[in-house]
Amino acid sequence: MNDVIVSIRGLSHTYMASTPLAAMGLQDASLTLHQGEFSALIGECGSGKSTLVSFLNGLLRPRQEGHVEIFGQDTASPGCDIVSLRRRVGLVFQYPHHQFLEQYVGDDIAHGPRQLGLTKGEIRERVHWAMESVGLDFQGFVDRRTFSLSGGEMRRVALAGILAMEPALLVLDEATTGLDPRGRAQIHDVLRHLRADRGMTILLVSNDMDEVAELTDRVTVLHEGETVLAGPARDILGKPDALEAYGLEPPTTTCVLRALRQAGIPIADTPLTKAETEEAIWQAMRP
């Protein structure tokens, strides 16, 4: 298919290679992302999710086995244009303050666009749009110091800083872990809008399966550095037994549905989200 934007196959990576402290990061990992898709990358703690994500914008490049092709570029080849890759692939990490490069919110969000050789007006427009997208009031936040913000606000500023570069692929590495429900819901809303209004391709790395079930339409499962499952979210998350075998806690919805089926209640189709599940139960049990 020609709408494939990320194709990673048979990738292996060892940290601290050729030292006594060598540690396996990836072993035969693969990942395919299509244009316009909202994907999730899931796996236990230490399964190699963050390592795999680092290959997406050339922070890591294949040194051992494996083929990594991002937007048609083979990142293993010396001629690979890493800068253009970073412009197209935006990575948002778990600790937002690690990503801050300037003192003030406005400056920080403008950091990316400024390097792209845009005019002042264009930069301002981008910053404006990015802040609006993540639900930060421009006037209220533009002059705030980045380190004085609350945890939830920091995450949104970090996200805005990446969005301002208008990436073609947005990757969020555990960007909601540790946030309280309110902060989490805000990030979810932002992602839903980006997808609906901009058709942005998004990869969400998460260990909250309820979040993955609500938001995404494709899922890749990593286990001990290896890609063990990949496919439509409905197929992967709809099989709680398989997820449990890989040390993952399946979404509440599919667990409830599994129990109901086991109790002999006929559930039609393969509901996944909260709303779908509720509707399916209603259809099966309505008075």
Partner 1 sequence: MASYEALRHVTLGRYIPGNSFIHRLDPRTKLIACLALMGLVLVATSYTSNTLLLALVTSCVLMAGLPMGYLLSNVRPALPVIVFLSLLQLLFYRANPGAPMLLSWGKLVISFAALKIVIVSLIRFFVLIFLVSLLTNTTTTSSLTSGLESLLRPLNRLGLPGHEIALVGAVALRFVPILGEELESITKAQDARSVGDKNRSRWQVAQNARRVAALIVPLFVDAYRRGEELILAMRARCYHGGEGRSHLVTFTFSSQDYIAFGLIVLFTIIVLTVQQLPLP
Partner 2 sequence: MTSDQLIRASNVHYTYDEGVRAVEALCGIDLYVDEGDFVAIAGHNGSGKSTLAKCLNGLLLPTKGDVWVRGQNTRHGSERSLLKIRATVGIVFQHPENQFVATTVREEVAFGPENLGIPGPELHRRVARVLREVGLEGLEERNPHDLSAGQKSRLAIAGTLAMEPHCLILDESTAMLDPIARRNVLALLDDLHDRGLTLILITHSMEEAVLADRVIVLDRGRVALEGSPQSVFADQEVFDELGLNLPVSAAIARELQRRGLYLPGETILTENDLIEALTERVQIET
Q: Which residues 6+ apart lie within 8 Å of 221 measured at CB?
A: 42, 43, 227, 228, 229, 230, 236, 243, 246, 248
Does residue 62 belong to the site contacting partner 1 (CB under 8 A)? no
Give me 282's structure tokens: 């209603």
Question: Cα–Cα distance between 154 and 90 in angstroms, integer?
Answer: 17
245 binds, among partner 2, partner 1, none (CB under 5 to 8 A by kind): none
Does residue 154 belong to the site contacting partner 1 (CB under 8 A)? no
Could you tell me the CA-to-CA distances from 57 to 14, 60, 79, 88, 106 in Å, in that order? 18, 8, 15, 8, 24
Instruction: Indicate the residue among 70 and 222 with the shorter CB distance to partner 2.
Output: 222
Name the region of 250 (left: φ>0; alpha: ψ -120 to 50; beta: rest): beta
Instruction: Indicate the residue among 62 and 251 with the shorter CB distance to partner 2.
Output: 251
Does residue 168 belong to the site contacting partner 2 (CB under 8 A)? no
Segment near partner 2 (CB under 8 A); pick from 10-18, 54-62, 121-129, 145-153:
145-153
Strand pairing category for 67-70 and 38-43? unpaired
Tokens 């496919």 locate to: 231
Binding residue for partner 1, selected from 5, 165, 187, 209, defined by CB under 8 A:
165
Binding residue for partner 2, selected from 158, 208, 238, 240, defined by CB under 8 A:
208
Binding residue for partner 2, selected from 177, 198, 224, 232, defined by CB under 8 A:
177
Binding residue for partner 2, selected from 182, 196, 197, 241, defined by CB under 8 A:
182
Binding-site ranges for partner 1 (CB under 8 A): 15-16, 19-21, 54, 57-61, 83, 86-87, 90-91, 93, 95, 97-102, 111-112, 115-116, 147, 161-162, 165
